[in-house]
């Protein structure tokens, strides 16, 4: 019994035994830490994957939202050019060009204009409306030709209203209100009297004939 106890005591006091014990403790700690690290890493990886997936969804949503805006600068430039081209080709240069063109359409269609009056609207930033109110007399085909000519003319005319005011024989009397526009720099500070407009149109008619 004494010999066994002595052998056990020798083992306990042996440096090799304590090395084994220390190694076992270190190994146990390492296993615990490795397991904890593996669990934390798995959790972190799952969270990172979720975050990445969420960011990808957000990016896709932003791409869909901004798709209509792609090339917007080019569209704006194109629209601006089209507007400028419309102004250059279809907006009259001044009052004289308006009167001249109406006189030409009157002569070509064969109608007669009377009681021509016009009014200048409020000045806009880009355009100012010019309204013209007149009586139109002629045969029905002539009046239709005059109206169609106004609507299709290169100069931009818009028919605002028209109404039959009388009919005698083959002649029809029509009241017509038409609008066109001038650029602000071409609008005079004062309007010429309505009689000047009638005289101008009558003069154009005489020249054409």
Show Cβ contacts of residue 116 under 8 Å, excluding neighbours closer than 6 positions.
132, 133, 134, 135, 194, 197, 198, 201
86 lies in some domain: no
10 lies in some domain: yes
CA distances from 78 to 72, 74, 82, 91, 139 (A): 10, 6, 6, 19, 44
Does the predicted model carry a pTM greater than 0.75?
no
80 lies in some domain: no
Quote the pLDDT of residue 200.
46
Quote the pLDDT of residue 74.
76
**Domain with 117 in it: what CATH number?**
3.30.70.60
Same domain, 98 and 200: yes
Rounded distance between C-alpha atoms, residue 133 and residue 59, angstroms: 59
Quote the pLDDT of residue 26.
66
128 lies in some domain: yes
Same domain, 38 and 100: no
Quote the pLDDT of residue 76.
77
Show Cβ contacts of residue 176 under 8 Å, excluding neighbours closer than 6 positions.
133, 134, 135, 136, 147, 159, 161, 162
Same domain, 60 and 98: no
Same domain, 23 and 111: no
| Residue carrying the six token digits 């602000």 | 184
84 lies in some domain: no
Quote the pLDDT of residue 134.
94
Tally the domains of the chain.
2
- Of 64, 83, 112, the last residue of a domain is 64
In tens digits, the chain (209 residues) has pLDDT values of 555 455 555 555 566 565 666 667 766 766 767 677 666 666 666 666 666 666 676 777 676 666 666 666 677 778 888 888 888 889 998 888 998 999 999 999 999 999 888 888 887 788 889 999 999 999 999 999 999 999 999 999 999 999 988 888 889 999 999 999 998 888 876 554 443 444 444 444 444 44
- Of 64, 79, 110, the last residue of a domain is 64
- Of 48, 64, 80, the last residue of a domain is 64
**Domain span at residue 179?**
93-208
Q: Which two tokens stand for residue 189?
A: 């500070």
Same domain, 148 and 203: yes
Rounded distance between C-alpha atoms, residue 139 and residue 141, angstroms: 6
């Amino acid at each position: 019994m004494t010999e066994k106890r002595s052998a056990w005591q020798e083992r306990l006091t042996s440096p090799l035994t304590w090395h084994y014990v220390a190694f076992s403790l270190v190994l146990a700690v390492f296993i615990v830490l490795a397991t904890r690290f593996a669990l934390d890493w798995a959790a972190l990886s799952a969270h990172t994957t979720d975050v990445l997936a969420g960011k990808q969804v957000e990016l896709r949503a932003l791409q869909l939202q901004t798709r209509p805006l792609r090339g917007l600068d080019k569209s704006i430039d194109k629209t601006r050019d089209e507007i400028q081209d419309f102004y250059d080709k279809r907006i009259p240069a001044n009052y004289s060009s308006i009167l001249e063109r109406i006189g030409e359409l009157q002569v070509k269609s064969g109608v007669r204009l009377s009681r021509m009056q016009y009014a200048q609207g409020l000045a806009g930033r880009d355009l100012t409306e010019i309204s013209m109110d007149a009586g139109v007399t002629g045969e029905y085909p002539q009046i239709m030709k005059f109206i169609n000519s106004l609507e299709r003319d290169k100069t931009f005319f818009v028919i605002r209203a028209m109404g039959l005011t009388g009919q005698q024989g083959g002649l029809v009397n029509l009241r017509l209100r038409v609008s066109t526009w001038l650029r602000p720099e071409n609008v005079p500070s004062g309007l010429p009297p309505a009689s000047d407009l009638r005289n101008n149109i009558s003069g154009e008619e005489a020249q054409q004939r």
